[in-house]
Structure 1
Amino acid sequence: MEKQTVRTTLTLPSELLEAADRMVSEGKAKNRNEFVAQALRHELATLQRAEIDAALVQMAQDPDYQAEVLRMEAEFASASWEALNLEDSQL
């Protein structure tokens, strides 16, 4: 299944376009379009990771969330112990 593409126009600093063209000529991408798409995917993934990291930091500092985690750990502690003992008995 082919991905849908949309034609757009970008205005870039000349040094970025020259650097991108160099990468294309070195075989890092088939063409400018592919290079820009790769760069956008990379940047979007970086931003998404940063959002996730920020959410994890916020959760780590949230006393209500931490209390909930401890409650859940206590609830699952016996099941985890049973699973560990079952695995050990099968060795």
Structure 2
Amino acid sequence: MKAETVRTTLTIPRELLEATDKAVLEGKAKSRNDFVVQALRRELAAQKREEIDAALAEMASDPDYQAEVLKLEVEFATAQWEALQLGETPK
């Protein structure tokens, strides 16, 4: 299923447009539009990864979260050991 598209106008520096056209001519994108869509998707994905990394970094320094993780590790330690032993049992 094709995503809905919307026509818009962008104002960009000339050198970016020239570099985009060169990339299209070299076959790195099907069109200017395709190149811009690819670039926007990559940038949005990078921003999302940065948000996730920031949240993980915050969790790593949160004492309440760390205490909960340690509690879970203790609760699951026996099950993890049993699973490891079962995995090493000759068949």
TM-score, scaled relative to structure 2: 0.95
Q: How does 1:54-65 map to 2 (within 5 A)?
A: 54-65=54-65
Unaligned runs of 5+ in 2: none
* Counterpart residue number, 1:78: 78
The amino acid across from 1:89 in the alignment is: T
* TM-score relative to the length of structure 1: 0.95
Cα distance in 2 for residues equivalent to 1:82 and 1:3: 48
> Runs of 4 or more off by more than 6 Å in structure 1?
none
Q: Which runs of 5+ in 1 are unaligned?
A: none
Q: Percent identity?
A: 66
Aligned positions of 1:12-91 closer than 5 A: 12-91=12-91
- Amino acid corresponding to residue 72 of structure 1 in structure 2: L
Q: CA RMSD in A?
A: 0.9
1:32-76 per-residue CA deviation (whole Å, 9 max, x = no partner) reads 000000000110111111111111111110000000000011111
